Amino acid sequence: MGGICCRFILVGGLVFGSACSAEKRGGENDWPEERAAMVALLREYGIRDERVLEAMGRVKRHRFIPEPYRSRRTAYDDRPCPIGFGQTISQPFIVAYMTEAMQIRPGEKVLEIGTGSGYQAAVLAELGARVFSIEIIPELAEHARRVLAAEGYDVQVLTGDGYKGWPEHAPFDVILVTCAPTDIPEALVMQLDEGGRMIVPVGERLQRLVILRKEGGKIRRKEDLPVRFVPMVKGGEKNEMP
Ligand code: SAH
């Protein structure tokens, strides 16, 4: 496992330059073989939950990557990929790892913070979750809404500040945060249901995934992998639906 750990440290949601836009391919290609190879790699890296592996085999990751950044390699190599506005989709391993850790059952209500491209939200929807997702950059929220709808995923996307959560739809069974706050936002913990789970990368340059569980009204906290995500920025503007 030692060698693999080094990979994790560098790759959570690392901001890349535009280097991986070079290999763009023309024409419509669904890249099923590349997706199958990605899933085989995830299995090799220790992802065991067949439902997660199947979901990631089904979601067309390349469709969520804005065109200037899209290629066979940026979509299906195990790396983070830029999506514009200085943001990235996490590498597939981190998406799989966080999703697996949350043990999502069909019908559960899941809140994602940091919609970005919409890819993680699509994986959650493939698992049968009812997905709510908040994105602070309006253009990304709009991009995600468009791709999610085109790919047939029923996900509610709110343009706004994830620090506030989404009280109208609370409580949630799972809260999955894909940008890094320096401290766990209290409003999100409040919006977890009894038996609920939350996964969040916490810290500035050195971050760790933290997993919370709410049991008997108490919060159990576990420190997990070292990771690197883009920061969760402070917003303050009003949360709004389109
Ligand atoms: N889950 C995404 C990738 C997330 S990148 C995917 O699958 O593509 C992190 C995202 O968090 C960025 O889009 C960033 O704009 C967003 N973000 C940062 N701070 C936020 C905040 N306070 N509230 C909501 N979203 C935020």
- Domains in the chain: boundaries: 10-227
Note the pLDDT of residue 242: 52
Residue at 231: amino acid letter: P
Pairwise CA distance, residues 6 & 82, whole Å:
21
110, β-bridge pairs: 131, 174
* 114 CA: nearest ligand 1 atom: 11
CATH number of 10-227: 3.40.50.150
Q: Is 165 exposed, middle or buried (0-12, 13-18, 19+ CB in 10 A)?
A: buried
- Which are the contacts of 82, defined by CB distance < 8 A and separation ≥ 6? 15, 16, 17, 18, 20, 21, 69, 74, 88
Note the pLDDT of residue 3: 36
Pairwise CA distance, residues 73 & 211, whole Å:
31
Q: Between residues 160 and 9, which one has the greater pLDDT?
A: 160
Indicate which residue of 21, 71, 90, 117 is catalytic. 90
Note the pLDDT of residue 235: 74
Structure tokens at 137: 């950059």
Crossing angle for the helix pair 2-11 and 92-101, to the nearest 10 degrees = 100
Residue at 129: amino acid letter: A
Using CA positions, which residue lies closest to atom 19 of ligand 1?
A: 232
- Which are the contacts of 117, defined by CB distance < 8 A and separation ≥ 6? 64, 65, 66, 83, 89, 140, 143, 144, 147
**N-terminal to C-terminal alpha carbon distance within the chain:** 45
pLDDT digits (tens, 9 = 90+) for 33-53: 999 999 999 999 999 999 999
pLDDT grade for 238, boundaries at 50, 70 and 90? low
Residue 57 pLDDT greater than 60, yes or no:
yes
Ligand 1 touching residue 76 (CB < 6 A): no
Specify the DSSP class assigned to residue 152: T
Let me know if 21 is a catalytic residue.
no
Question: Using an 8 Å Cβ cutoff, are 21 and 74 in contact?
Answer: yes
Note the pLDDT of residue 39: 98
Residue 1 pLDDT greater than 70, yes or no:
no
Q: pTM surpassing 0.85?
A: yes
Ligand 1 touching residue 13 (CB < 6 A): yes
pLDDT grade for 68, boundaries at 50, 70 and 90? very high
